[in-house]
Every structure is written in C-alpha cells, then in structure tokens.
Chains A and B, each alone.
Chain A
C-alpha cells in the first residue's frame, strides 16, 4: 500500500523551506511587520506551522482578507431581514450561517425558526434551486472579493438568458485595492508610516485583477507588495522579496505567483464582472464606509438585484459590545489582545465574525495558536 504524508507538494518541501528560512533570516535588517489580506494565506501560515518558524523580527499581521469577516453588521442585518420574508429562500455559502447579527441571531438560528436558508457551494447551485422552487424567490448572498464576483455575474447573466424571474442576488461584494488604500491613508500615509512594512498580496484576487491595481501602494505610500502563492515556499519567497525591497528602498509590486497570476489578470473575467456590476461605495466591518470599494448591480440587471426588488435598506444596528474585530482587521490588535478572545468569544460561540469564519484571524489564532 502506498501512503503519503500531508503537505507533500513541492512548494511545501521541507528542505526547500529550510533554505528559504535561512535566507530570510540572513537578509532581515531589523523588525519587519507584514500584512496578508487573504484568508487562505492566514490559514496556510498557521496550518503549515510556518508562523512558529518565522525569525523573531518577522511579524505576521492578518488584514481585511476574510470575506465573511469584512461583511458589515448592517449587511448581515439586511440579509436576516430578507430571510424573514414570506416566499424568500436564502442561498448562501456555509460560512455566513453562523455570523452573529442583531441581538445574537444568525441565519442558522433563523433557519431553526422556520426561515428557508440553504447552504450552496456555488451561485450556480442557487440558480438550480430557483429552477426547482418556482413558487419562491431564491436570493443568493453575494459575499466575497474580486475572485468570486465574476462567477456571480455569470450566474445572473445565465438567469436573464433563461428568463428566470425568481432569482436575485443580495450583493455585498468588496474590492481589495480600495480597502488597502483606506488602510494606508487612515494611518497618516507615507509620512507617519502605518506600522506595516510590506504586504503579502492575495494570489486568488490577483488572478482576476492582475498586478497594476496595487501600484499605488508603492508609488504613493512607498510600501512594497508581493502577489504571493499559498504554499509555505511561496510565502517565504514573497517575504524575502519584500525585505529586499525595503533594504534597497525600492518599493515595488512584484508577482511571485506567476504560475497562476498573469500581470494583466483575467480580462475576460473582469469584462463579465463589469457587465453586471459597477464600483460603488461600501461598508466594511471595523473600517466603515470606503468609497468605490464595493460592487453594486447595474441598472440593466435591476430585476436581479435583491436590494431593489425588495426595497431593502441597510438597517442601523448597534455595534457588538466589546468586539475588537475592527481593530484586528486593521492589524492594530492581535486577536489574543481582544478581551473577549477565548473567553466569551470562541469558535463554538463566536461574538464577532473573525471568530466565525474558518479563515478569520481570531479563529486561526484559537485553532492553531501556540505560544512562541
């Protein structure tokens, strides 16, 4: 019988990674704080044990890269309100089910109380649900970044082509570059520095948008960024590139993940995306309103826009008391610095979204964290 061990992929090769770790340590010229903005990076860094191996001065911060985590309380409240309407079936990715909304209720508790909420793995599953349940309106919760939005757009186009009238999307999609801009601007920009020395940029998002949309980070804020893959060797190589750019004072945006990401991204996917969506202002949890950082459904697809179809407003909701998810998402607070962490807030009974999603930084700290 042939057995294999986990993480046997070439980019997780232990010997290769040991070499890269040595290079990283040798090139390090003082403390270096890097932020990643992708849940897959968060999990990979923890799960592979890489976090425990990073040199003393390399500090890992988890930014606003988990789609569920950055979804605003008011957006969750709107989804909950919609779930309560007669004749509506909510179709959603599983991660959103347990995100606490107003008064601690969640889609999961709404379902237990009789709301029709179905977990789907793709917007196409939601479309299939609409075909089967002709007497109900199936609303897909569109949460996620540039990576998932083109598929949602394609699904809406398909619904229109089929003349399917009982399908709609509640779109809360977010765009990564404007959030990075807001993060850098809020902390005083280049003059004061942000406490972040460089960015590990999201490989998946970049397959769609390419490298250019991050250029402003180097040009205006003088911060280096590397679009990186998700295996330990990718991450280590990206960190070495970041540290070299800081040393040589030549901040730039580099594509380390060229085996998956083309510098131009995927123009066809973007075309699909912007046929259905247009950039609009959006709310981010913990950060607030960021101009042109979300995706609204264009007038041509108004029939498939759940917000317009159900005249849905984003309800005002009180903030979750004591929850520091916002500070965590901005890299200002480590998850275990939150007074609720591991006490009233655990994956079994999460207070904030960063503890709900498997990609949330609080959940990763809780699940994988070891004292260094």
Chain B
C-alpha cells in the first residue's frame, strides 16, 4: 500500500474503498470464504450448538509491547467464545478509522490481526470499514464478532463452581494492564514487561478433551482477577478462598504497580484464564496448561468453599502473605480507561 494517510474516500464504498479492502484486508486475512466477496459470508454447517460473542476494542496506545489492537481484537473474542467450552471457528470485524491515520500503522494492525487469526486457526470471513472525520474517533476502533461450536456439554459457566473445586489460573496477573497503563503514563519500564495478549482456544480444547469436567472457565480481562472471581462466587453461591502468595505476578509488573499505585489483581489480562474444576482433576489440568507456552506459569491459587460462620456466599476471601484474611472485592468506581 502507499504511504499516504487514510482519506475519507476509503470509507465511501467507491473504488478507493474497494482498493483498500482488496489490497489490505483480503490480502492479510486470505481465505476462500472472504475472497468470495459477497454481501455476507456463507459458513456451511457447524457441528453442535453454536456460541457467539462480540466485543469492541478501543485500546490506547494502538500498538504496545506484545501486540496491537488488531491482534488484541482477535484474541479477545476468540477467548470469549472459548470460555463457553466452544471451539472458535469464524470471526467478522468492523473497523472505524479516523481520517488521516498513517497507512503503515493500519497495515501493521491488519497484519497483526491476520497473523493472530491464523495462529488461533480461526477465519476472518467478513468485515466492514468506515472512515470518520478527524476527531470523530481516536485513530482506530475495531469490533469483532466470533462464532464457535460447543465441544463440552454442559458448558462451563460462572454459576457452576462447587465446594470442593480447585481454582487454577494459567499464568501471571496484570501483564497487559500494566503494559498499557505504563505506556500511557510515559513510563518506560525496562524490565521487559509486555502484554500477555494471546489466543487460549488450543489450551481450552486440550483442557476439555484431556481433563474434562471443567466447571468454570473465565478470562480475567477488565477488572482483573479480583473482579472475575467475584463474578464466579456470586452466581455460584459459594465462597472463593484465594491464597495471595500463590498468585504469580512478574517482578516487573509488581515494581510498576508499586510506582503507579496499582493492584495487579485488578489489572486486565488478555491471555489468561481461570479454571475451576474438581480438586482431584487439578494436577492433570495444571499439567495440560503448563504444556502450552501461554500456560507455563499456571498455578493453583485457591479452593471453592461453602459459606461458613465467618463468610457469606458470594464472597472472595484472600489469605494475605501475613496469614490474615480479607475480602477481595470487585473493582469500584472508574474503570481504567480504554485498556482493551
């Protein structure tokens, strides 16, 4: 593509727009369904029940260590579909682009998206591009919608955690959130902190087929581990007891959090999952997760309990390194802006 910036013409539906679509999007997303270039994508038959999810991505900065908004838009939606015990198959994407965007930046985003989809083995089968006047959007917003086939029934659900279950996480907490926030604060953290943005569908499929009996799968994105745990304890009517010492947090993330006054347990992750399943399956599940690069730091961080004399259903209780106990509440107040 040329190095001229994106012009309003590119979203007009005319020849300029067609050129942008064929020379950029179709080239990087290459697959026969998309290349048919019809008004809609013909997917054929799917096996089993169908799962569908949609999410908008507005991250600032658009490019960050570990990915860009394009790869993030694939990973986020692929992971959401996977968390229902489904195999993601197809994605569509809608781009809102600010007039004047650097064409090279757009190409890097689209390439990142294409590569992420190939690695996750999903196809991008349709899309839309709009260019809006300068100031009407901030650089680039992307919405992706994903469809997948259910491979585990009953589907994992936030309401299925039961006393006697173990709580596992697939790796360290806070990497993505800290990467984005430190970039925005203009802090350069030399400690190699980078986003964990990654597709988890292969790991999920292995967990389901090799271990089975997975009660809950969640990806702790916005609001972090603390908020996601509460979204499990509440609907399941149980107490989640979590051991703070067992939660992996990278040195660079811990240090950056201390500088910025943040709590890594409330920071977003884009390539991690929480898995709740019966205690006697936890060792097998950890072994499966650790077999994947995105799960090599997987850890058992706690257990599901019934409400007792000193706890109420819906609470997440954190055992601190001192041995004390406190609540691990949900994120309150302002969402940290635009981290995904």
Are A368 and B322 closer than 8 Å at their CB atoms? Answer: no
Pick from A11-19, A144-152, A196-204 the stretch touching chain B. A11-19
On chain B, the residues within 8 Å of A47 by CB distance are 320, 326
A7's partner among B297, B315, B321 (CB-CB below 8 A) is B321
Residue of B nearest to A347 (CB): B332
Q: Does B244 contact A (CB under 8 A)?
A: yes
Instruction: Report the bound CA distance from A145 to B34 in whole Å.
Output: 62
- One of B19-27, B40-48, B52-60, B248-256 at the interface: B248-256
A230 to chain B, nearest CB (A): 12
A188 at the interface (CB under 8 A from B): no
Partner among B254, B325, B333 whose Cβ is within 8 Å of the Cβ of A6:
B254
A6 to B324 alpha-carbon distance, docked (Å):
14
> How distant is the Cα of A47 from the Cα of B230 in the complex, in angstroms?
17
Judged by a CB distance under 8 angstroms, whether A48 is at the interface is yes
Chain B interface residue number, banded: 20 to 34
A52 touches B324 (CB 8 A): yes
| Given A49-B326, A370-B325, A1-B297 contact (CB < 8 Å) | yes
Q: Does the CB pair A1–B322 fall under 8 Å?
A: no
Against A, the Cβ 8 Å flags (1 = close, 0 = not) of B313-340 are 0010111111111110100111000000
Q: A49 and B325 in contact (CB under 8 A), knowing A1-B297, A4-B250? A: yes
Known: A4-B254, A5-B249, A367-B332. A17 touches B326 (CB 8 A): no
- Whether the Cβ atoms of B321 and A3 lie closer than 8 Å is no
- A residues near B319, Cβ cutoff 8 Å: 49
Closest-by-CB residue of A relative to B248 is A3
* Per-position binary interface string of chain A over residues 230-258, scored 1 when its CB falls under 8 Å from any chain B CB and 0 otherwise: 00100000000000000000000000000
Tell me, yes or no, whether A8 is within 8 Å of chain B by CB.
Answer: yes
* Residues A348 and B317 in contact, CB atoms below 8 Å apart: no
Residues of chain B contacted by A17 (CB below 8 angstroms): 322
Residue from B247, B296, B311, B333 having most chain A Cβ neighbours under 10 A: B333
Residues of A within 8 A of B251 (CB): 2-4
Chain B residues, Cβ within 8 Å of A3: 172, 248-251, 297
A12 touches B249 (CB 8 A): no
Kindly list chain B residues whose C-beta atoms are within 8 Å of the C-beta of A12: 321-322
B249 near A369: Cβ-Cβ < 8 Å: no
A8 and B254 in contact (CB under 8 A), knowing A14-B322, A48-B324, A367-B327?
Answer: yes
Interface string of B254-274 (1 = CB under 8 A from A): 100000000010000000000
The 8 A CB mask of B289-320 against A (1 = contact, 0 = none) is: 00000001100000000000011000101111
Q: A3-B251, A5-B247, A8-B254 are in contact. Are A371 and B320 (CB under 8 A)?
A: no
Q: Quick one: which of A14, A94, A367 contacts B321, CB cutoff 8 A? A: A14
Asked if residues A370 and B248 are in contact (CB atoms below 8 Å), the reply is: no
Indicate if B12 sits at the interface (CB-CB under 8 A): no
**A347–B333 contact, CB under 8 A?**
yes
Complex: A363 Cα to B321 Cα, angstroms: 22
Q: Which residues of B contact A50 (CB under 8 A)?
A: 322, 324
Pick the contact of B323: A2, A4, A49, A94 (CB < 8 A). Answer: A49
Residue of B nearest to A97 (CB): B334
Q: Which residue of B lies closest to A16 (CB)?
A: B322
Q: How many angstroms from the CA of A6 to the CA of B319 in the assembled complex?
A: 12
Which chain A residue has the least Cβ–Cβ distance from B328?
A368
Interface string of B150-179 (1 = CB under 8 A from A): 000000000000000000000010000000
For the complex, is B188 an interface residue (Cβ under 8 Å from A)? no
**Which residues in chain A, 1-43, are within 8 Å of chain B measured between CB atoms?**
1-8, 12, 14, 17-18
Roughly how many angstroms separate A98 CA and B244 CA in the complex, as a whole number?
A: 30
Cβ of B104 within 8 Å of any chain A Cβ, yes or no, is no
Residues in A313-372 with C-beta less than 8 Å from chain B: 347-348, 363, 366-372
A89 to chain B, nearest CB (A): 20
A93 at the interface (CB under 8 A from B): no
CA distance A120 to B256 in the complex (A): 20
> Which B residues from 200 to 259 make CB contacts under 8 A with A?
244-251, 254
A188 to B310, CA, bound (A): 38
How far apart are the CA atoms of A52 and B323 in the complex, in Å? 9
Instruction: Please give me the residue from chain A that is nearest to B253 by CB atom.
Output: A4
A7 to B329, CA, bound (A): 18
Partner of A48, one of B249, B322, B334: B322
Chain B 81-138 interface residues, beta-carbon cutoff 8 Å to A? none
When chains A and B are docked, how far (Å) is the Cα of A7 from the Cα of B333? 24
Q: Which of B245, B311, B324, B326 contacts A5 (CB 8 A)?
A: B245
How far is B126's CA from A278's CA once the two chains are assembled, in angstroms?
68
CA A231 to CA B312, docked complex, whole Å? 29
Give, as a whole number of angstroms, the nearest-CB distance from A359 to chain B. 11
**Judging by beta carbons under 8 Å apart, are A6 and B318 in contact?**
no
Q: Report the minimum CB–CB distance from A360 to chain B (whole Å).
A: 12
**A46 sits at the interface (CB 8 A):** yes
Kindly provide the distance from the CB of B330 to the nearest chain A CB, expressed in whole angstroms. 9
Residue of A with least CB distance to B257: A6
- A367 and B226 CA atoms in complex are apart in Å by 11
Residues of A within 8 A of B264 (CB): 6
| Residues on the A chain within 8 Å of B329, using CB | 366-368
Interface CB pairs A-B, < 8 A, 17: A2-B250, A4-B249, A5-B244, A6-B244, A6-B321, A18-B322, A48-B321, A48-B322, A49-B322, A49-B324, A49-B325, A52-B326, A53-B324, A363-B332, A368-B326, A368-B327, A371-B310
Beyond A3-B297, A18-B323, A48-B324, 4 additional pairs, beta carbon < 8 A:
A6-B247, A47-B320, A50-B324, A371-B311
- A: residues with CB less than 8 A from B are 1-8, 12, 14, 17-18, 46-53, 94, 98, 232, 347-348, 363, 366-372
